[in-house]
């Protein structure tokens, strides 16, 4: 009886740590979400589409700036619209869905690790995922990839649980759950979910020569549930919009494979993937090598069977470099999971960093397995901790240098964030230096660095948003703007403009990503060409125009507009009718100087009170 007490106590301690990691994830992902304007273009786009759904009541045809926008399925838009319907059209409500998706992903990673590799591995994997930089950023950014990654993670983890379960109802339930999650993933980002899932499942089954597993995947019930989730919206969108199917499948899904937009070399993700874990990057490489060695030993291909291997294709008595023998299949699955995501998207010509987010849960588990199953006792881990400590120390003067060298933000407003970041880096370096001699502290110290840096990041983002995005300028104007005021942009397109003004933006000499949608229906009054049309609009009524600083000297020479507000990347101007109706006072025309610049709207009421 007494011999069980240490084990029970250790289990309770690990449970408390798991709860602590979950609470930290909730706090880190949610805190400060309403403290800064939308970051265009992504945040503005994924806030405006749900807002227009709520305004129009049309949840079938996504629209951006009131133009049909078929780039992605609508599940993310529906979720964000739901958050705004419940909590109001606030920035934090827009950012709530990815924050919740990030939090649930941490819980999934810990649960999966706990179930198959032990609680220590599960807790550490959740900690690693939480304190990796790309997952952290994307959990606070309202774009589709956070929800997509959550649903893919759920798909692959439930499939694996079904694969490992004994034949019976439990096996069927897990596979049906996988089909359900796959359907939801398709409704989030399209057929990429099918391609990734098919590649991972087939690659694993082929590697283990376990083709019988295909017959136990509940194909009839699974496909029926999948169809019920996926088909209604696709059919309804195709029925309402005859151009939908061609643009959605051909242009958006397959066209991106060869598109020159966001074109990157084939090795791009191979570099980004490890460095996306930031302070865990040094541990990435020995963990990846160890996982590859272990995965290679359990591959079970027909031509690999020999007198020196057993019926499973494994060498008798082979040592396990990462975990116990029962973990081998799981390690192979995680290796294929991470490799399939990075490999498949590497084949695409178009590459964006969020594409590889679904690979990080698997990599967090592999690093945790490496560290918790003998890795901490090995010399390479001490070297990794020492290298990371040296990197943090070297980064201290670099942070100060770049804060002073950049020209978009005032150095004075970065003074405290820089000091906090430098203190965090110094403290992190000291902790990791000490952990070299107390190796059990290495996982806690490594993750803690990013936690210590959070205050500096939370202080810097609002400064950057106010000095570089339109949201901060628009929030200083009367809200709502009088209905008579029309809003236009010349030679640019900031999606957040419509969200804050709650009206359609007239685009002059710029169609951007609305090029396809602008050819559908009659939008001639909202897509104009030539500066003469902008001058014409100025003579027809109150007009607010957003443009880039480089275009302001030319617009100023027309004598039709006065300066309403400006920052380092945007100049907002209005005609006389705009200033009268909005009750704002124009800035002097020469006030928009070189950046860093922030001229907030000036209210005539405030001036009179002063």
Judge if 331 and 213 occupy the same domain.
yes
Judge if 514 and 414 occupy the same domain.
no
Residues composing the chain: 610
Nearest to 121 by CA among 364, 294, 330, 319: 364
Judge if 455 and 507 occupy the same domain.
no
Residue 142 inside a domain? The answer is yes
Judge if 147 and 218 occupy the same domain.
yes
Judge if 494 and 450 occupy the same domain.
no
Judge if 581 and 520 occupy the same domain.
yes
Cα gap 297→529, rounded to integer Å: 63
3-state class of 282 per DSSP?
helix
pLDDT of residue 257: 61
- How confident is the model over 497-552, as pLDDT tens digits? 999 999 999 999 998 888 888 888 888 899 999 999 999 999 999 999 999 999 99
pLDDT of residue 378: 85
Residue 90 inside a domain? The answer is no
Residue 563 inside a domain? The answer is yes
Cα gap 119→12, rounded to integer Å: 11
Q: What is the largest CA-CA distance in the chain?
A: 94
Q: Tell me the C-alpha to C-alpha distance, in Å, between residue 117 and each of 111, 171, 347.
A: 10, 19, 32
393 pLDDT band, cuts 50/70/90, is: very high
319 pLDDT band, cuts 50/70/90, is: very low
Judge if 126 and 115 occupy the same domain.
yes
Cα gap 25→47, rounded to integer Å: 23
Of the residues 421, 444, 468, the one at which a domain ends: 468
Specify which residues 490 forms β-bridges with. 508
Of the residues 439, 468, 497, the one at which a domain ends: 468
Q: Which residues contact 351 (CB under 8 A, 6 or more apart)?
A: 262, 263, 264, 268, 269, 345
CB burial of 501-522 (b: ≥16 within 10 Å; e: otherwise) equals bbbbbbbbbebebbebbbebee
pTM for the full model?
Answer: 0.92
- How confident is the model over 339-352, as pLDDT tens digits? 999 999 999 888 89
Number of domains in the chain: 3
Cα gap 451→448, rounded to integer Å: 5
pLDDT of residue 376: 86
Judge if 115 and 212 occupy the same domain.
yes
Nearest to 495 by CA among 89, 36, 47: 47
Q: Mean of the per-residue pLDDT values for the chain?
A: 90
Residue 62 inside a domain? The answer is no
Is the four-CA dihedral 37, 39, 41, 43 of positive or negative sign?
A: negative
Note whether 355 and 345 are within 8 A (CB). Answer: yes
Residue 187 inside a domain? The answer is yes
Find the mean pLDDT for residues 372-394.
90
Domain carrying residue 484: 471-609
Find the mean pLDDT for residues 114-143.
95
Residue 88 inside a domain? The answer is no
Judge if 350 and 241 occupy the same domain.
yes
Of the residues 468, 495, 518, the one at which a domain ends: 468
Judge if 336 and 390 occupy the same domain.
no
Residue 89 inside a domain? The answer is no
Residue 47 inside a domain? The answer is no
3-state secondary structure 58-107: CCCCCEECCEECCCCCCHHHHHHHHHHHHHCCCHHHHCHHHHHHHHHHHH
Nearest to 482 by CA among 498, 496, 497, 503: 503
Judge if 453 and 477 occupy the same domain.
no
Find the mean pLDDT for residues 555-579.
96
Judge if 532 and 439 occupy the same domain.
no
């Amino acid at each position: 009886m007494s011999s069980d007490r240490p084990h029970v106590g250790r289990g309770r301690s690990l449970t408390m740590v798991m709860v602590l990691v979950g609470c930290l994830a909730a706090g880190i992902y949610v805190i400060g979400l309403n403290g800064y304007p939308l970051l265009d273009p992504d945040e503005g786009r994924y806030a405006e589409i749900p807002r227009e759904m709520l305004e129009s009541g049309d949840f079938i045809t996504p629209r951006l700036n009131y133009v049909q926008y078929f780039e992605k399925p609508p599940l993310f838009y529906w979720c964000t619209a739901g958050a705004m319907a419940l909590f109001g059209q606030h920035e934090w409500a827009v950012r709530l869905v990815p924050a919740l998706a990030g939090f649930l992903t941490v819980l999934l990673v810990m649960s999966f690790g706990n179930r198959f590799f032990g609680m220590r591995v599960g807790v550490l994997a959740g900690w690693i995922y939480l304190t990796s930089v790309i997952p952290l950023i994307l959990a606070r950014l309202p774009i589709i990839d956070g929800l997509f990654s959550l649903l893919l993670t759920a798909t692959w983890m439930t499939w694996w649980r079904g694969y490992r379960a004994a034949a019976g109802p439990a096996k069927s339930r897990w596979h049906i759950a996988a089909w359900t999650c796959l359907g939801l993933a398709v409704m989030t980002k399209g057929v990429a979910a099918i391609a990734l899932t098919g590649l991972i499942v087939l690659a694993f089954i082929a590697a283990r020569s376990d083709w019988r597993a295909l017959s136990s995947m509940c194909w009839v019930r699974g496909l029926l549930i999948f169809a019920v989730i996926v088909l209604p919206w696709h059919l309804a969108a195709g029925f309402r919009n005859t151009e939908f199917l061609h643009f959605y499948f051909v242009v958006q899904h397959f066209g991106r494979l060869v598109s020159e937009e966001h074109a990157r070399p084939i090795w791009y993700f191979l570099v980004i993937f490890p460095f996306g874990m930031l302070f865990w990057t040094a541990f990435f490489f020995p963990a990846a090598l160890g996982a590859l060695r272990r995965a290679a030993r359990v591959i079970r291909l027909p031509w690999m069977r020999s007198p020196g291997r057993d019926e499973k294709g494994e060498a008798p008595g082979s040592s396990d470099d990462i975990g116990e023998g029962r973990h081998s299949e799981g390690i192979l699955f995680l290796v294929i999971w991470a490799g399939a995501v990075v490999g498949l998207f590497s084949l695409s010509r178009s590459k964006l960093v969020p594409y590889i987010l679904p690979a990080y849960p698997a990599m967090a588990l592999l690093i945790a397995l490496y560290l918790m199953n003998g890795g901490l006792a090995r010399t390479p881990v001490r070297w990794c901790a020492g290298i990371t400590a040296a990197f943090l120390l070297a980064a201290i003067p670099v942070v100060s240098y770049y804060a002073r060298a950049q020209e978009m933000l005032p150095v004075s407003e970065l003074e405290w964030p820089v000091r906090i970041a430098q203190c965090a880096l110094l403290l992190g370096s000291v902790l990791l230096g000490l952990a070299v001699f107390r190796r059990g502290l290495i996982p806690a110290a490594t993750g803690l660095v990013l936690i210590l840096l959070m205050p500096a990041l939370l202080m810097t983002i609002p400064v950057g948003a106010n000095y570089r995005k339109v949201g901060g300028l628009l929030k200083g104007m009367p809200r709502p703007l009088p209905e008579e005021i029309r809003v236009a942009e010349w030679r640019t397109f900031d999606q957040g403009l419509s969200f804050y003004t709650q009206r359609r933006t007239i685009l002059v000499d710029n169609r951007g990503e609305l090029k396809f949608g602008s050819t559908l229906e009659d939008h001639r009054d909202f897509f104009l060409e030539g500066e003469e049309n902008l001058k014409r609009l100025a003579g027809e009524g109150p007009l607010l125009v957003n443009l880039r600083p480089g275009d302001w000297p030319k617009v100023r020479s027309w004598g039709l507009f006065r300066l309403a507000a400006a920052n380092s990347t945007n100049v907002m101007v209005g005609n006389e009718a705009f200033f009268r109706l909005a009750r704002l006072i124009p800035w002097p025309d020469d006030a928009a100087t070189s950046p860093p610049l922030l001229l907030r709207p000036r209210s005539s009421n405030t001036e009179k009170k002063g």
